[in-house]
Structure 1
Amino acid sequence: MTIWNPQLSGQGPLYRQLAQAIGQAVEQGELQPGQRLPTHRALADRLGVTVGTITRAYSEAEHQGWVTARVGAGTYVREETGEPALNWHIRQPDPSRIELWQNLPILQDRENAFRDAMEQLLATPGRINALMEYSSVNGELSQRETVCHWLSQYGFSTAQPERLFFSFGAQNGLLLSLMACGAVGETILCEGLTYPGLSTLSHSLRIQLKGLTMDEEGLLPQALEKACQTGNYRTLYLTPTIQNPTTATMSLSRREEILALCERYQLTVIEDDVHGLLPEIRPPALVELAPERVIHLGSFAKNTSAGLRLGYMLVPAHLHAAMSIAVRGSSWMITPLMIELTCQWLLSGQADRMLLQQRKTLRERGALLRHHLGHYQVQYQEGGMHAWLPLPAHWRSQAFVQATNQHGVGVAGAELFAAAHYPSPQAVRISISHPADNISLDKALRVLRQLLDSEPTPQWVI
């Protein structure tokens, strides 16, 4: 434990003075990455303050990114990799590696589709000029009608123009939803293993995550009810279809049970459904079962083009004003030209063809996955971009990730997905959509199989 005597400024509340002192000590090298801070009691006695003041100061320092708390172990100066989810990023192509790291859409040639859409827009005099101006906060009515009609063909009866808002992809949609729900600075509920983008946003928005226990279908209703009985929460984020990272898909009965609890405890649900259109058969989305309880997040990134950065949200009526304020406050509007380009693809059938191609390639890759790793406990749902691999007893998650990296293959360790202090299992996520082609995926899966069949190399520390 570090012997450290903070120098307080004497200005402002004591807890903030202490948090600032921690930050200054880290910047000046007085406190080193990975070093443990004094216990709450020890520092309180040394400074002559209450333990509550130290607790609040450490919490403030954690919000500022200087330290990280480890349950049962203490508070430590944050290392660069101390909060794995904060290092989540899109890895750029590297010819020396095969990435199974991120859920990127299958590569497709979109040049002709883009050219055809632009020619269609240019054929209407003045249309491009109109699309280069400011638009309304939720896009043109004709654009929303086009998207809603397309979604209705995939089972979304709740997709109505008055409920639809656009976003710069689902990540931006999540940010807007958290803002509209008034979740900034609060604690929200989520699955214990969750999308790293939520952890990144929670850090920036000073949101605390409370990860809840899961089973093979995802979030456990008992865990949700227990949390609601012991705390005051307003927002629940979850992915009921092809959950990220575990691939769990909730049954209809589980969805109804979860929504009944949300109604009882007045929770607003943020439903992340970015993978929802990829499986050909799936239960109804949560928004179909409780349209006034659920903000539904969807995106064209996974089934058409990630570079469009276009997502959509189906929003309950009572949150329309708050969502409009969130959009205006963050970007004024979503780029009209990108919305219109997507609408052209929807009208021409190009979006359907792209979605069908995604499904076809993912079926092929799912077969490759089962061929190589089928005798392990790999978890995969048809149409999914990723699989979840619990590791054999002789492997730990970080050691396995290091081993795959040494062999030129990238996978995502379970610790990237653990919400707050939720225990991280010994498992990895395998993104079968990331490699450029099936041949690369086949090669990478062979590497994983060889490693799984072998023992990790001992790491001696003297």
Structure 2
Amino acid sequence: MRSHTWKPRLRRSSAPLYAAIVDALAADISAGKLRGGDRLPTHRDLANAVGASLGTITRAYAEAERRGLVRSQVGSGTFVNGLMDGDAYSPMLDRSRIDLGPTAAPILSGDLGHCALTAALANLSSRADLGALSGYQSHGGTAAQRAAGARWLGTTGVVASPEEITVCSGAQHATAILLSTLATTTGVLVEELTYPGALSAAQWLRLPTHPVEIDEAGLVPEALAQACRSSRAKVLYCTPTNHNPTTSIMPIERRRAIVAICREYGVTILENGALAPLVPDAPPPLAALAPEATYYIGSLSKATVPALRVGFLRSPTEARHLLENAAAATVWSGSPLLAEIATQWINDGTAAAIRDARRREAAARQTIAAAILKGTPYRAHPTAYFLWMRIPEHRRAMEVIEQAAAQNVLLGPAHLFAARAGSAPNALRVSLAAAKSCNELERGLSILAKLLDGSPTSPWSVMP
């Protein structure tokens, strides 16, 4: 049991403040930010944190308890209720849950990724040079690893030499060292809906974020230019290919416009390409259009297996020494064992084969979703791991999330992706990849479809 200095990120809505607090509580429980048994702030502390009266907080906690989110113990406090410690992503649900929340596909027994990883580990255990792979290595990776990284990024259209590659411990590590190295106190320009890991890294580094409007084609050029002028930020973090959470793919004309604006205002681009390998025949990355101003973040985890925490960061050649220093300051040395597997898989074609299998599986699951959710508007491309669904105005996305959770189905709340506090859209991100099988996915989507087809319940009810 732990005390938690929880402060809600309140959504802008017409609902009463107490209701907005409960919605924020439910979203943070669903996201795993709060765990079972966590002690919530006292009524007075939370009232001070959000600028509310004690009566408002009392009503919020009472409503949260009625909805089964918390429990109160006289003399002890208010605690997050009925959650399971050890469930990393969705502590609201028991082990029979259907997980439609996270991005990455799991390693399933018998699939290509699982078999390849089993064989790779067995091979490593019998190698004569295992001792050498058990020590430290160069901060930014060996020459062979950097060459493999350049080859892997080349599959997404990034032209890079080994001298431009820094090996990282995954895309999140790459994001953190880039922000710490390149961003200043003016902050970071981000899409108004963006990858939560980037927001977490910026928050950890105490960097302000400046949300920029997006549409179905990605960043809106006029909005980006205005944000550059008003914020004076010199770093842009964006995902032009397979955007998370909307799955949008920025067309080439828009990419050229974004590059032109960044050049005009002297803005450095951090391009997240972690999900780009899933998209065949995507437009050229920003790194190909403006290599002198773009740092490209690639990894293997999303396209192969999540356990392969190896990322490749392409930068202008003169920046690599600075990035190696940042890598040394954060992890000192990545895992030589994982980097060796990554290098072998890239060089012998295993990584590409697993990526192709992931694409096929994603396409099959998108077909299932299209059949079950027929008539329900949403956005997705054919090989995306997830879909983006706006909820009609007469329904509340958090209501749907809670109703689904009551039936052991986890969904991704838009709250997680909103760069501007209080401005999360009334929407869901529905993962198709994390369900343990296509049959399980069908069951989960069928529950969601029934919830969406049903008439809205009272604002604060949860289905039994």
Q: Secondary structure at the match of 2:131?
A: helix
Q: Is the 8 A contact 1:392 1:452 kept in 2?
A: no
Q: What is residue 98 of structure 2 aligned with on the other side?
A: 98
Does the 8 A contact of 2:359 with 2:383 survive in 1?
Answer: yes
Question: Retained in 1: the 8 A contact 2:166–2:313?
Answer: yes
Q: Secondary structure at the match of 1:357?
A: helix
Distance (whole Å) between structure 1 residues aligned to residue 142 and residue 312 of structure 2:
13
What is the alpha-carbon distance in structure 1 between the residues aligned to residue 390 and residue 349 of structure 2? 39
Query: 1:117 and 2:120 equivalent?
Result: yes
Which amino acid in 1 is paired with 2:245? Answer: P
- Secondary structure in structure 1 of the residue aligned to 2:194: coil
Partner of residue 438, structure 1 = 438
Asked if the contact 2:210/2:231 (under 8 Å) is kept, the reply is no
Please, what is the CA RMSD of the aligned residues?
2.6
How many angstroms apart in 1 are the aligned matches of 2:446 and 2:137?
50
Instruction: Tell me the residue number matched to 2:16.
Output: none
- Is the 2:235–2:267 Cα contact (8 Å) retained in structure 1? yes
Which residue matches 2:137? 135
Equivalent position of 1:324 in the other structure: 324
Query: In the alignment, is the contact (CA less than 8 A) between 1:274 and 1:298 conserved in 2?
Result: yes
The answer for the alignment partner of 1:160 in structure 2 is 161
**What residue is the counterpart of 1:394 in the other structure?**
394
Contact 2:414 2:429 in 1 (8 A): yes
**Aligned equivalent of 1:64:** none
Q: Per-residue deviation at 1:422?
A: 6.2
Larger radius of gyration: 1
Q: 1:90 to 1:299 in 2, by over 3 A?
A: farther
Deviations along 1:338-364, whole A, 9 cap, x unmatched? 100111222332212211110111111
Task: Specify the code of the residue in structure 1 equivalent to 2:89.
Answer: I
Aligned partner letter, 2:238: L
Does the CA contact (< 8 Å) of 2:153 and 2:298 recur in 1?
no
**Secondary structure of the equivalent of 1:308?**
coil
The answer (yes or no) to whether the contact 1:164–1:314 under 8 Å persists in 2 is yes
Q: 2:147 is matched with which residue?
A: 145
Distance 1:281 1:261 in 2: 25
Do residues 32 (structure 1) and 45 (structure 2) align? yes
Task: Report the more deviating stretch, 209-218 or 92-101.
Answer: 92-101
For residues 398-446 of structure 1, the C-alpha deviation after alignment (integer angstroms, 9 at most, x for no partner) is 1111111112111111111110336211110001111011111111111
Shift of 1:279: 1.6
CA distance 1:28–1:200, change in 2 (3 Å): closer
Q: In 1, Cα distance between the equivalents of 2:237 and 2:168? A: 17
Retained in 1: the 8 A contact 2:153–2:159? no
- 1:267-286, Cα deviation, whole Å (9 max, x unpaired): 11111111101022211111
Identity between Structure 1 and Structure 2 (%): 29
The residue aligned with 1:278 is 278
Deviation at 1:366, TM superposition (A): 0.5
Instruction: State the alpha-carbon separation in 1 of the partners of residues 341 and 107 from structure 2.
Output: 19
Aligned to 1:371: 371
Shift of 1:155: 4.7
| Structure 1 residue 176 corresponds to structure 2 residue 177 | yes
User: Aligned letter for 1:141?
Assistant: A
CA distance in structure 2 between the aligned counterparts of 1:114 and 1:38, rounded to whole angstroms = 52
Unaligned runs of 5+ in 2: 1-38, 53-77, 81-86
User: Do residues 345 (structure 1) and 345 (structure 2) align?
Assistant: yes
Check whether the contact 1:193–1:418 (CA below 8 A) recurs between aligned residues: yes
Cα deviation, 1:12-56, whole Å, max 9, x if unaligned, reads: xxxxxxxxxxxxxx99958332456669xxxxxxxxxxxxxxxxx
Quote the Cα distance in structure 2 between the aligned partners of 1:34 and 1:104.
Answer: 38
Which moved further from structure 2: 248-257 or 350-359? 350-359
Q: Within 2, Cα distance between the matches of 1:114 and 1:223? A: 44
Q: How big is the shift at 1:235? A: 0.6
After TM superposition, the structure 1 = structure 2 runs for residues 378-389 of structure 1, keeping only pairs within 5 Å, are: 378-389=378-389
Task: Give the TM-score normalised by the residue count of structure 1.
Answer: 0.78
Q: State whether structure 2 residue 207 is matched by structure 1 residue 202.
A: no
For 2:283 and 2:348, the matched residues in 1 are separated by 28
Report if the CA contact (8 A) 1:105-1:301 is conserved: no
Contact 1:107/1:436 (8 A) holds in 2: no
- Contact 2:106/2:305 (CA < 8 Å) preserved in 1? no
Aligned-residue offset at 1:106: 4.6
Structure 1 residue 215: Cα displacement: 0.6
Return the alpha-carbon distance in structure 1 between the equivalents of residues 147 and 104 of structure 2: 28
CA deviation profile, 1:295-341 (whole Å, cap 9, x unmatched): 11111111111112111111122422321221011111211111001
Per-residue deviation, 1:459: 4.2
**Residue 258 in structure 1 maps to residue 258 in structure 2:** yes
C-alpha distance in 1 between matches for 2:387 and 2:361: 15
Q: Deviations over 1:370-413 (max 9, x none)?
A: 11223121100121111000112221121111111112111111
Q: Is the 8 A contact 1:211 1:422 kept in 2?
A: no
Amino acid at match of 2:444: A
Cα distance, 1:94 vs. partner? 4.3
The equivalences for 1:287-366 within 5 A come to 287-366=287-366
| Other structure's SS at 1:433 match | coil
Aligned to 2:268: 268
Rounded to whole Å, the distance in 2 between the matches of 1:106 and 1:186 is 38
8 Å CA contact 1:212–1:219 kept in 2: the answer is yes
Change (3 A) 1:192 1:157: closer
TM-score for both structures, normalised by structure 2? 0.78
> Which letter maps to 1:113?
A
Distance 1:444 1:159, change over 3 A: same
Task: State whether residues 174 and 297 of structure 1, in contact with CA within 8 Å, keep that contact through their aligned partners in structure 2.
Answer: yes
2:285 counterpart letter in structure 1 = A
Conserved in 2, the CA contact under 8 Å of 1:269 and 1:295? yes
Whether the aligned pair in 1 keeps the contact of 2:40 and 2:79 (CA below 8 Å) is no
Show structure 1 runs of 5+ residues with no match.
Answer: 1-25, 40-78, 82-87
Counterpart in the other structure of 1:51:
none
Q: Which amino acid aligns with 2:116?
A: A
**2:278 aligns to what SS in structure 1?**
coil
Asked if the contact 1:98–1:409 (Cα under 8 Å) also holds between the matched residues in 2, the reply is: yes
> Is the partner of 1:442 in helix, strand or coil?
helix
Correspondences of 1:416-435 after superposition (within 5 Å): 416-421=416-421, 423-435=423-435
Residue aligned with 1:378, SS: coil
Give every structure 1 segment of 4 or more consecutive aligned residues whose post-TM-superposition deviation is greater than 4 Å: 26-30, 34-39, 118-124
